[in-house]
Structure 1
């Protein structure tokens, strides 16, 4: 066999081997198409944060006088009414001050009566001397001395009256201090904290010692700490709801009342306090409870929804109105087909469908590229 024929034969064998290898070589499988059905559900776009419950109305009940806490009539958890006696401080010193001041006041009032009698006598003598001087029956010196005695008696009376007013003021203060030894509830509510014990000596010279704290638990405030990244999304009067650790399935709703302008810095994180109130008729919300809070930016009930992963952005048309336009792939006759839809409320997981899809449609969320057909694969095979 000539060399040229051997070369042709070898070339044919190589071509046959190459063809068989191409035909039987495993090809890359087309990605599996994963779909999700368009279904009806509720959707909510919200900002989440952690909060702490506290009473809307509360008061720290303290004492304005120092002394031993002689009797404490209440303890934590007690229900009290406005005006109810809560505690008594030893009043021995304050009662003694009142009695001593009253005695001093009585002494001055007696002196005043004596001076008024003296002034009356001085007035009569002055009038008598004036009448006698008209008859040349007395001297001018006697008249002047009588007038001076009248003026002196009048001045002494004025001084005593001033002392009496001063002492009356001291008596009023002493009686007030005495009244402060009995401490009454300034409001109706629940004793939520007790900071002093019976028999304890309280010093009110610098600060007013707190004995108990009373709170109205019928309405609670949720103090929520919101990060600086989310605080701009909050607006006063926006709806808000929360759950507690003890009742994770109970949703309690409210309205954002206030955003405090001064932040708190915790571990170098800037947090702003957002406050809202919630009724507590069953009394199950207690101070210092933790709350998982959701500030609702947008929400829709019983609407068509699809996973956000199915959306592909498209260029928005100017003046398109409500909603945003996206492209999705919809299974039609088993094949993914592109379709432009309009969505409304969106979260990180779901999107509300306003236009372009019907309930039950299947949208592609992954693997939307179709596998090549047999004809296409055959076209790529070498011919020999």
Structure 2
């Protein structure tokens, strides 16, 4: 081959390479335009699938635990607290000796009143003997007067002596009754120096100390508190915005800080009508009882309380924000959602709702578990895919 032919082939190969490069660039540009156009015109939807689960509509509040039954044990007499026979946390029975107050003065008073009473009773016996004599003299003078063997004056004197003897006995009997009443009061004070448990329970607090002087003149001082811890009462403070939703007999449960999520259940027993105002917030005390046989609940524990306004089990649920509520009627059970139809387009669907906790809402009718609810629509790319129940995903529209 001549050198001229070689140069011709080289020029032809160079032109072919340029043409190929131009075609590649043009194809790439066209493909880029096509992809860009597809991305800009495609619509994507955030979809939700319904899930089936339990749901509760709740009113929440904070509260504190206290014993259902308790008594403040006080001192009814003044004096030095000589001895305490129990400690905090000790279990006692009704009638157990709890404490003793110095009884020296009360014992002396009882002894004095008893001695006075014995003296009065001896005087009564003497007056009765004098009455017997006065009756004898009266009968004698009456018989003599009937026979004109005595004077009218002697008869009248005997009659007066009889009346006087009877009056002295009556007065002395009244004094004895008064002394007996005083003795009973003094003996009661003496007994009050020994303080006994009025109920079965646990000593939850002791306010006095051994050797302390107790003054019961103006008010009864509290020495200790005994409580029955087998049943506890929760005192929950409900705000005025929620109190009208709380009714006696309503189911309620609570958790404690150290309970690791354990729930204790009860029913509302009473709603106190007098409010408690704290930092300009009006609260109402709501009480309910729970058994505490295991002794896990202690007085003054903090509680998080949940009043069950309504509940449902294994219901079809949607997130609350995926449902358009009837704003004209707040009590209406009618609402609507956007559902992806067979053509891949969103359409409005009327539904009936049930229990709601402002996070999720129960769907009573209008949807099935296979429906895909459109949460929102936007511009962008992505491939169609189903989502897990209750979780949003992206699906390209057709």
TM-score by length of 1: 0.85
Aligned partners of 2:255 and 2:264 also within 8 Å: yes
2:350 to 310, 324, 340: 340
Q: Distance in 2 between matches of 1:332 and 1:215?
A: 65
TM-superposed deviation, 1:35: 2.3
| 1:368 partner SS | strand
Alignment-derived partner of residue 178 in structure 1: 190
TM-superposed deviation, 1:314: 5.0
TM-superposed deviation, 1:241: 0.8
TM-superposed deviation, 1:97: 0.8
Alignment-derived partner of residue 114 in structure 1: 126
Deviations 1:180-206 (A, max 9, x none): 111111110111111111111101111
1:226 lines up with 2:235 in the alignment: no
Q: Distance in 1 between matches of 2:37 and 2:348?
A: 33
TM-superposed deviation, 1:209: 0.9
Matches within 5 A, 1:92-241: 92-241=104-253
Q: 1:149 to 1:174 in 2, by over 3 A?
A: same
Aligned partners of 2:40 and 2:379 also within 8 Å: no
Alignment-derived partner of residue 390 in structure 2: none
Aligned partners of 2:231 and 2:291 also within 8 Å: yes
Deviations 1:141-172 (A, max 9, x none): 11111111111111111110000000000000
Deviations 1:96-131 (A, max 9, x none): 111000000000011111111111111111111111
Q: Distance in 2 between matches of 1:339 and 1:260?
A: 45
1:40 lines up with 2:52 in the alignment: yes
Alignment-derived partner of residue 319 in structure 2: 307
1:255 lines up with 2:267 in the alignment: yes
Aligned partners of 2:98 and 2:195 also within 8 Å: yes
1:350 to 360, 363, 371: 360
Q: 1:265 to 1:96 in 2, by over 3 A?
A: same
1:330 lines up with 2:369 in the alignment: no
Alignment-derived partner of residue 9 in structure 1: none
Q: 1:119 to 1:220 in 2, by over 3 A?
A: same
Matches within 5 A, 1:7-22: none
Aligned partners of 1:241 and 1:295 also within 8 Å: yes
Alignment-derived partner of residue 374 in structure 2: 364
Q: Give RMSD over aligned pairs.
A: 2.5
Alignment-derived partner of residue 302 in structure 2: 290
Alignment-derived partner of residue 272 in structure 1: 284
Aligned partners of 1:323 and 1:354 also within 8 Å: no
Listed as ranges, the gaps of 5+ residues in structure 2 are 1-35, 381-398
Q: Distance in 2 between matches of 1:71 and 1:45?
A: 55
TM-superposed deviation, 1:330: 2.0
Q: Distance in 2 between matches of 1:355 and 1:88?
A: 72
Q: 1:109 to 1:92 in 2, by over 3 A?
A: same
Deviations 1:280-314 (A, max 9, x none): 11111111111111111110111110101111135
Q: Distance in 2 between matches of 1:142 and 1:237?
A: 87
Deviations 1:248-296 (A, max 9, x none): 4101111111111111111111111111111111111111111111111
Q: 1:31 to 1:144 in 2, by over 3 A?
A: farther
Q: 1:363 to 1:92 in 2, by over 3 A?
A: same
1:76 lines up with 2:88 in the alignment: yes
Aligned partners of 2:41 and 2:379 also within 8 Å: no
Q: 1:127 to 1:50 in 2, by over 3 A?
A: same
TM-score by length of 2: 0.82
Matches within 5 A, 1:22-61: 33-61=45-73
Q: Distance in 2 between matches of 1:131 and 1:54?
A: 83
TM-superposed deviation, 1:346: 1.0
